[in-house]
Amino acid sequence: MSGGRAELTHIDASGEARMVDVGDKVETVRVATAEGCVKMAPETLALIRQGNAKKGDVIGTARLAGIMAAKQTSSLIPLCHPLMLTKVSVDITEDDNLPGLRVTATAKLTGRTGVEMEALTAVSVACLTIYDMAKAADRTMEIGGIRLLEKSGGKSGDFLHPEHSK
């Protein structure tokens, strides 16, 4: 911390973007969970629930897309390290209060750097896949609320989003 403010770790003294050297960091178990949602018309949610979307199984396909995306995070986000993930899970649940689908992803590994970006990428791509598969029925869908819920492991310690309860 500098002057009470966090410093950006991916910017060097001259303001240039750089990949952080994690070679000297201690390997620890690291876990991160993120969430996001896709709001849609109640009729669209019913269509997905009934398995009647034109492109097929929306929830199953989005789950796989999220898992695949987590494994490709370093190819998508320029300064992310390639990681050997030991677990990625993507859960998609109906939320009638939205109405729509809530996506939660957890990424885990034993390593020198965190897995927050992998969890966030999994959520983002799963939400985009839901949109893609249901857009023929509803182009007014909204993707939002993508955020880190919690993380553990590493030098910076644990984090729990203030609005998230376990």
Annotated catalytic residues are: 132
- Round to whole Å and give the CA distance between 156 and 75: 25
Looking at residue 22, its amino acid is: V
- Round to whole Å and give the CA distance between 120 and 133: 20
Query: Residue ranges of the alpha helices (H) in 24-155?
Result: 42-49, 58-71, 73-76, 116-134
